[in-house]
Amino acid sequence: MTLDKAENKQIFIVNDIVQEQRMKKRLQDMGLTKGTRIKVLSNNTGGSFILNIRGSRVVIGKTVAEKIHVQPSEHEAYDIKAVGNAC
Q: What CA–CA distance (Å, rounded) separates 46 from 85?
A: 29
The pLDDT, as a whole number, for residue 41 is: 95
Helical residues (DSSP H) of the chain, grouped into ranges: 21-29, 62-65
- Which residue range is the domain that position 70 belongs to? 3-79
Residue 84 has pLDDT above 70, yes or no: no
Average pLDDT over residues 18-24: 95
**pLDDT in the model for residue 17:** 96
Domain assignment present for 87: no
- Mind listing the pLDDT tens digit for each residue in 36-52? 999 999 988 778 999 99
Backbone region of residue 39 per phi and psi (left: phi > 0; alpha: psi in -120 to 50; beta: other values): beta
CB under 8 Å to 74, separation ≥6 — which residues?
Answer: 87
CATH of the domain at 39: 2.30.30.90
pLDDT of res. 70: 97
Structurally, the chain folds into a number of domains equal to 1
